[in-house]
Amino acid sequence: MRKAIWLAAALGCARVETQEAPDAGSAGPPRIADLDPAPGAVAARAHFKVSFSEAMDEGQLLASSGRSETVVLAPEALVERAAAAIEHSRLSAEERSLIVTAQASIVPGAAELDLLPEQPLAPGGYWLLASTRLRDVSGRHLQAAARFHYTVAEAGVHAALVTPPAGATVAANLGRVRISVDRDGARVSVVGPEGAISSAEAARGIVELPLCPAWSGSGCSTLRAGQTYSVFLEGEPVTGASFTAGQCPRLEPPRGAVQLRPRDVSIGADVRLDWPARVAMQVGACPGSGCRTAEAFAICAPDPCEQTPDARCNVSLRVDGLQAGNLYPVQLLVEDDEGHLARGPVQQVVTSGALPRLVLAEVMASPPGPTPRSDGEYVEILNAGSFPVDVSSAALAGADGVARAVLASADGGVVLGPGGRALAVGASFDEMRYAIPRGVPILRAATQRLLGRGLADDPPPLIALLATDSEGTLAEVDRFPGGGPRCPQGSSIEAHPDAGWACGDAGGSPGRPP
């Protein structure tokens, strides 16, 4: 089989016919002999295999970061700048932003390179570029700069079951379901053995579909025990979006516990329930102009026939925009999908004094070698405020809730100016593993490892950052939620203002912006 591959050189484009496999023993300069997938339309989660006619110099295929800076993907709008950039010996941080972040690996023999984008490709056009800096093991450079065009089509409308969870066995008196839809105007339905029992034309977001002709509380009896019900989108079943009706109804409201976490300008709540429900936290005089509310779903799938299920439906909420050092009434409302509404007692909560704007900027839970890797674990703290902050009294807490000082001895203090960064580490931390900028404070804790036992990487743990207000009260100022993302070994997890937590470059960026 022969494939047509398009090469774009500086003077124009030429169409080159090549064999599917590279020609053995070619006397000419190396060239790209095959691509998988072929140029054209590809899926958003496509990965790319580039085959060369000769074994290539591995040092030119991969940069020190572990990614390729000579074979790259670039969005169509940035292709000219990206093509010029990869002809340099090394890309700057700004130039790296022109290309799609992708993991690269060399196939044994160095005649093939695999390129795997870290995120699904957004709809649009892309160019796969290869630099003339590439050379084979004999030192011969690629015969021409190469460009291959790909397109990712606009995704169609999608729907997903939010509550109950897909595959769950639900209470016999379930009264409504919630479905997430990513387009306006799509028609969604819940369909059982006898046809649709509820339908609606949905707006983008989460739509609630009642399962009873009228909302009748715990008396709803639309579902038939043992039958399976599925979500349909535009008349077609949504893969994996189904649930089964159980034998038992749920006749009591959800029960559980709540832990309030006041800060300077916000109040958080960690809620544990024995049954899935919508949880709302009201702060201030409600109803009224001073009322502030946050709500979320505690999603889980306990057995509806179990008399005393565990409190395993967890959710966290936070209300912002409060005044430091003020007294606020706080009340939680819990509403399940079987018609029960429970109101918790009103609690009086005092927010702390003004707290510094310290944030967690980076977590290195899976350090690069050498062993022991635990000696490379660190957490980066950033002063995101406008004033200097003494971080010597700051602390970290894990899932056990124990506050551990970031500095074994606070004598003399450690002051971070606005925009300054510091590394919180265990006593065994080996700073020679990293190129840490001069002047970045290294805060060594009293324990050999962070949080006492170190940072597990599968999955990474919850980490709370605590700081003191003007009166010396210790309160949480930021947290890494834990659980993900799961990054390649040697890569850190970095905080991005718009995208949340994401995998960073191999080797991390301690003391530097991502």
| Percent above pLDDT 90 for the chain | 52
**How far is C-alpha 168 from the chain's CA centre?**
25
Q: Supply the CATH number for residue 133's domain.
A: 2.60.40.1220
Neighbours of 231 (CB within 10 A): 25
- d(C-alpha 350, C-alpha 97), whole Å: 44
CB 402 within 8 A of CB 474: no
**Stretch 121-130: mean pLDDT, rounded?**
92
Say yes or no to pLDDT of 370 above 50.
yes
pLDDT digits over 433-444, tens only? 999 999 999 999
Burial of 345 (0-12, 13-18, 19+ CB in 10 A): exposed
CB 455 within 8 A of CB 468: no
Classify residue 513: in a domain, yes or no. no
Beta bridge partners of 364: 378
Q: Supply the CATH number for residue 291's domain.
A: 2.60.40.10
Classify residue 297: in a domain, yes or no. yes
CB 216 within 8 A of CB 176: no
Phi-psi domain of 338 (left: phi exceeds 0; alpha: psi -120 through 50; beta: other): alpha
Decide which of 411 and 56 is more confident: 56
DSSP 93: H
Question: CA 386, 389, 395 angle in degrees (round to 5)?
Answer: 130
Please list, in sequence order, all residues whose beta carbon lies within 8 angstroms of the beta carbon of residue 408, skipping any fewer than 6 positions away. Answer: 427, 444, 445, 446
On whether both 165 and 148 belong to a single domain, the answer is no
Question: CA 115, 117, 122 angle in degrees (round to 5)?
Answer: 135
Say yes or no to pLDDT of 310 above 70.
yes
pLDDT digits over 138-150, tens only? 889 887 788 999 9
The per-residue pLDDT for 317 is 93
Classify residue 511: in a domain, yes or no. no
On whether both 198 and 91 belong to a single domain, the answer is no
| The pairing of beta strand 146-152 with beta strand 124-130 | antiparallel
Please list, in sequence order, all residues whose beta carbon lies within 8 angstroms of the beta carbon of residue 182, skipping any fewer than 6 positions away. Answer: 157, 158, 159, 204
H or E segment at 94? helix 93-96
The per-residue pLDDT for 434 is 93
Say yes or no to pLDDT of 416 above 60.
yes
Instruction: For 60-145, list the strands marked E by DSSP.
Output: 71-75, 102-106, 112-117, 124-130
pLDDT digits over 249-304, tens only? 999 999 999 999 888 889 999 999 999 999 999 999 898 888 999 999 999 999 99
On whether both 43 and 124 belong to a single domain, the answer is yes
On whether both 420 and 480 belong to a single domain, the answer is yes
Please list, in sequence order, all residues whose beta carbon lies within 8 angstroms of the beta carbon of residue 327, skipping any fewer than 6 positions away. Answer: 348, 349, 350
Classify residue 403: in a domain, yes or no. yes
Average pLDDT taken over every residue of the chain: 86
Count Cα neighbours of 267 within 13 Å in the Cβ-side half-sphere: 28
CB 49 within 8 A of CB 35: yes
**Stretch 320-342: mean pLDDT, rounded?**
92
On whether both 26 and 141 belong to a single domain, the answer is yes
On whether both 344 and 391 belong to a single domain, the answer is no
On whether both 364 and 501 belong to a single domain, the answer is yes
Beta bridge partners of 198: 190
Please list, in sequence order, all residues whose beta carbon lies within 8 angstroms of the beta carbon of residue 317, skipping any fewer than 6 positions away. Answer: 268, 269, 271, 279, 280, 281, 294, 295, 296
Decide which of 223 and 353 is more confident: 223
pLDDT digits over 64-79, tens only? 777 899 999 999 999 9
Say yes or no to pLDDT of 216 above 60.
no
Residue ranges in 191-334 assigned as alpha helix (H)? none
Burial of 66 (0-12, 13-18, 19+ CB in 10 A): middle
Say yes or no to pLDDT of 96 above 60.
yes
Please compute Rg for the chain using Cα positions.
Answer: 28
The per-residue pLDDT for 9 is 32
Backbone angles phi and psi of 76, in degrees to 5: -55, -40
Among 13, 101, 113, CA closest to 60 = 113
On whether both 277 and 206 belong to a single domain, the answer is no
For residue 37, the enclosing domain spans 2-152
Beta bridge partners of 283: 292, 330
Say yes or no to pLDDT of 432 above 70.
yes
Classify residue 54: in a domain, yes or no. yes
Q: Considering 127, 152, 177, which residue would you say is the last residue of a domain?
A: 152
On whether both 173 and 125 belong to a single domain, the answer is no
On whether both 179 and 223 belong to a single domain, the answer is yes
Please report, as a single letter, which amino acid is at residue 398.
Answer: G
**Stretch 464-476: mean pLDDT, rounded?**
84
Instruction: pLDDT band for 465, please (50, 70, 90 cuts).
Output: very high
Looking up tokens 């056009």, which residue turns up? 125
Classify residue 321: in a domain, yes or no. yes
Instruction: pLDDT band for 213, please (50, 70, 90 cuts).
Output: low
The per-residue pLDDT for 14 is 33
- d(C-alpha 248, C-alpha 255), whole Å: 18
Classify residue 217: in a domain, yes or no. yes
On whether both 174 and 59 belong to a single domain, the answer is no
Q: Considering 334, 350, 366, which residue would you say is the last residue of a domain?
A: 350
The per-residue pLDDT for 13 is 34
Q: What is the DSSP string of 139-203?
A: SPBPSS-EEEEEEEPPP---EEEEESPTT-EE-TT--EEEEEESSTTEEEEEEETTEEEEEEEEP
Backbone angles phi and psi of 167, in degrees to 5: 85, 0
On whether both 438 and 309 belong to a single domain, the answer is no
Q: Considering 291, 317, 350, which residue would you say is the last residue of a domain?
A: 350
Decide which of 215 and 449 is more confident: 449
Classify residue 42: in a domain, yes or no. yes
Instruction: Please give the tally of structural domains in the chain.
Output: 4
Instruction: pLDDT band for 1, please (50, 70, 90 cuts).
Output: very low
The per-residue pLDDT for 2 is 34
At 445, is the secondary structure helix, strand, or coil?
coil
